[in-house]
Structure 1
């Protein structure tokens, strides 16, 4: 709704409220006045949210321009980049990917979101179907969930055996070390949302026809299995956060700030000639936390409360 339309609607509501009060001050009309005023407040709130959203999108543009510059540098230097987007359901991975790639050259990036493996793929080396999607020189591949499904989702829902899980956890560190050693830039982002915010987003998906497709059977169980996922997160960070392939935790309750800071992490991973050196490239420490620091936070929670809370 445009500001012009909002002002017209606001004027109509205010005029109606005045007429209602003057014409009949009875309880019935007082109730109608209250309803009209509530509608006015809702309009104002909606307009405020729209303005804030526009401002947030505008704030991303200088960094999206930098991402284009970085992409050009990767192409010119024939470098490969892989970005993993991991985290709980409804943590904001998909929205961030869309903002990161919005203005990029489609010829030089791909977004990969692999579905359930086929029977043939289950008989292959576990990493094989992911390796088939890896970038060539000058290309970026963004994984909307990756091989870390085996560290998080699969053990929680029993989609893999304990032996398969352990084989993965033993092998993934060496797999990533070899990947980086051979020149691939690997960025691992974990989007962390609170239980309350996840519940709110799930509720919105249930009632919003434009978002209902996002709600899967697994999503429905995510809240009930919150502690199980938290335990798997801890084990994943403890065993796979390395100096050559570190995790960056993105606090994503505030989607706008999460998207902006995820872009900063990506841009800081490449030494490229920046388009605007005066731009602030320093991630917000309240939003971006290293995997090592997150482990310290979780250990402290366990000592204080006897359980993990993030």
Structure 2
């Protein structure tokens, strides 16, 4: 893949802010209309899913838009119907749920790393389109995004995280092993797309060589696929503060204050 020119920061930030304002409008429409939205973020490690989710939710109300990033299943959850633990996180009326990885773990890491049996994997590929069709038929607005990144760019991002103590926590041994299993993951992705890219719940591929472009493109596409409209909101006005009734603040020495660390910065 040829090198993608990075979107200039000023242009990126201006368009991102405009799109985020539209996301707030979308949120109000979802809340008012009682809509239910599910957005699935999938892709290779370091493809930019997490940073895109952050930009999507930056100005949204966490009571309306929430992120679901489930840990490894417990012993009890391993004995449940595979989709069961995801079902409890689906939205109620007026909610948006963003899955930072989802039930597609079974089609990717679980399959490639041998965390599920071949029978469990094949059963997932049969059941997943049915499961998603049920969600859509029940009125859930389901959107699925696959973030695509080249092997060279993924390795560069891994190295950048290794060199940055503030971001090293983002890497695990399993992430690094994905470098040696690039083709296996590619084959798994192709099989997943073949079985689960359906008319009811299609996959949308986001080219993510440049994270800025990926974020802009994904958010713009999401907004274009949901028939939201501006919602009338009652204007708010700050009330006048009533006159004092004689309250006196308690002495400061009766409370414990946080030390003024900021003052040491100006010495």
TM-score range, shorter chain: 0.7 to 0.9
Gaps of 5+ in 2: 1-5, 232-267
Q: State the Cα deviation string for residues 3-27 of structure 1 (Å, max 9, x = none).
A: xxxxxxxxxxxxxxxxxxxxxxxxx
Query: 2:39 touches 2:142 (CA, 8 Å); kept in 1?
Result: yes
Greater fraction helix: 1
Within 5 A, what are the aligned runs for 1:160-239? Answer: 160-239=116-195
Q: Give the equivalent residue in structure 1 for 2:30.
A: 74
Query: 1:66 touches 1:274 (CA, 8 Å); kept in 2?
Result: no
Query: 2:29 touches 2:230 (CA, 8 Å); kept in 1?
Result: no
Pair 1:122 & 2:88 matched: no
Distance across 1 between alignment mates of 2:92 and 2:100 = 18
CA gap 1:268/1:251 in 2 versus in 1, 3 angstroms: same
Pair 1:150 & 2:106 matched: yes
Q: Give the equivalent residue in structure 2 for 1:112.
A: 68
Select the structure with the greater relative contact order (CA < 8 A; seq sep ≥ 6).
Answer: 2
Measure how far apart 1:179 and its partner are: 0.5
Q: Give the equivalent residue in structure 1 for 2:211.
A: 255
Measure how far apart 1:54 and its partner are: 4.8
Distance across 2 between alignment mates of 1:136 and 1:193 = 33
Q: Normalising by structure 2, what TM-score?
A: 0.82
Q: CA RMSD in A?
A: 1.4
Distance across 1 between alignment mates of 2:8 and 2:201 = 35
Measure how far apart 1:55 and its partner are: 4.1
Aligned residues: 226
Distance across 2 between alignment mates of 1:218 and 1:166 = 23
Query: 2:47 touches 2:208 (CA, 8 Å); kept in 1?
Result: yes
Task: Return structure 1 stretches of 4+ with deviation > 4 angstroms.
Answer: none
Gaps of 5+ in 1: 1-48, 276-310
Within 5 A, what are the aligned runs for 1:95-106? Answer: 95-106=51-62
Measure how far apart 1:223 and its partner are: 1.0
Pair 1:242 & 2:209 matched: no
Pair 1:264 & 2:220 matched: yes
Distance across 1 between alignment mates of 2:99 and 2:46 = 16
- The counterpart of 1:86, out of the listed 42, 47, 59, is 42
Measure how far apart 1:52 and its partner are: 4.0
Distance across 1 between alignment mates of 2:224 and 2:15 = 18
Measure how far apart 1:53 and its partner are: 3.3
Measure how far apart 1:114 and its partner are: 0.3
Distance across 1 between alignment mates of 2:90 and 2:72 = 18
Secondary structure in structure 1 of the residue aligned to 2:229: coil
